[in-house]
Amino acid sequence: MNRKMNFYRITILLVIISLSPFYSMARKPVREFYQFTIYHFNNALQEKMLDTYLEQALLPALHRAGITKVGVFKPIANDTLTDKTLYVLIPAKTLEKIISIPDKLKRDTAYQSAGAEYINAIYNDPSYSRMETLLLRAFTKAPEMQLPALKAPKEERVYELRSYESATEKIFQNKVHMFNEGDEIGLFKRLNFNAVFYSEVIAGSKMPNLMYMTCFDNRTERDAHWKSFGSDPYWKKLSSMPEYKNNVSHIDIIFLRPAAYSDY
């Protein structure tokens, strides 16, 4: 009897082991969340304070908390703007992880020390003029952030952030469907757009809308990719389909460069 029981146990164990790769393959990646913080600042002094804080305090603290792919970007047009901006993109596997960040920073003594100038800035000498935060959730067909495969130095790279607004929530979902089930994401991938993320904005100032980021070694390469996109037969077919007509009411395009200390 014992021999039979042992035989059955061993057999079941072998079956489980043999099937485990298939179970792991069947598991769907979890849709990530992204916190996009946009700092508005007015002058070089504020920019320096922000850079020092981010490089020496916030990014190291996030890395210690297990968040290793933090992007920091500045609009290429910043020099010509009065209201200058800086973008910080933080990915997380769960919403709870994003919500827990402030409490973790409060308990991180190294962060508190390195970020003292930023944290303790006085009312008439702050590190920024305003800040805003967007909360994003990754698309079902692009559930995880992808680090770009770029060869150029950071100072030459072009990151293109796009925001597509729609007239209503239902129409917005139609545009999301176009990216996912319509396989607009697949087209971007086939044409090597180096997409970092695709996401729905679930909390922000301009809704309903979606945001995604692509990146290139330089502006010339970016322009060539979009030329190929516009003439691609699949895009012509997809964009002409009646069910996807008029699903975007406004587009914002921002060209960014990564900060020297950005993770990518």
Q: Band of the pLDDT at 16, cuts 50, 70, 90?
A: very low
pLDDT for res 80: 83
pLDDT for res 3: 56
HSE-CB of 212 using CA atoms within 13 angstroms: 23
Domain positions in the chain: 33-258
The domain 33-258 having CATH identifier 3.30.70.100: the answer here is yes
Q: Band of the pLDDT at 7, cuts 50, 70, 90?
A: very low
Q: Is the peptide bond before 208 cis (omega within 30 degrees of 0)?
A: yes
Q: How far is CA 117 from CA 52, 82, 129, 189, 211, in A?
A: 9, 24, 16, 43, 32
pLDDT digits (tens, 9 = 90+) for 85-133: 999 999 999 999 999 999 999 999 999 999 999 999 999 999 999 999 9
What is the token pair recorded at 77? 């047009």
H or E element, residue 96: helix 95-99
CA distance 62 to 49: 18
204: DSSP letter? S
- pTM here is 0.88
Task: Answer for the pair 247, 171: CB distance below 8 angstroms, yes or no.
Answer: yes
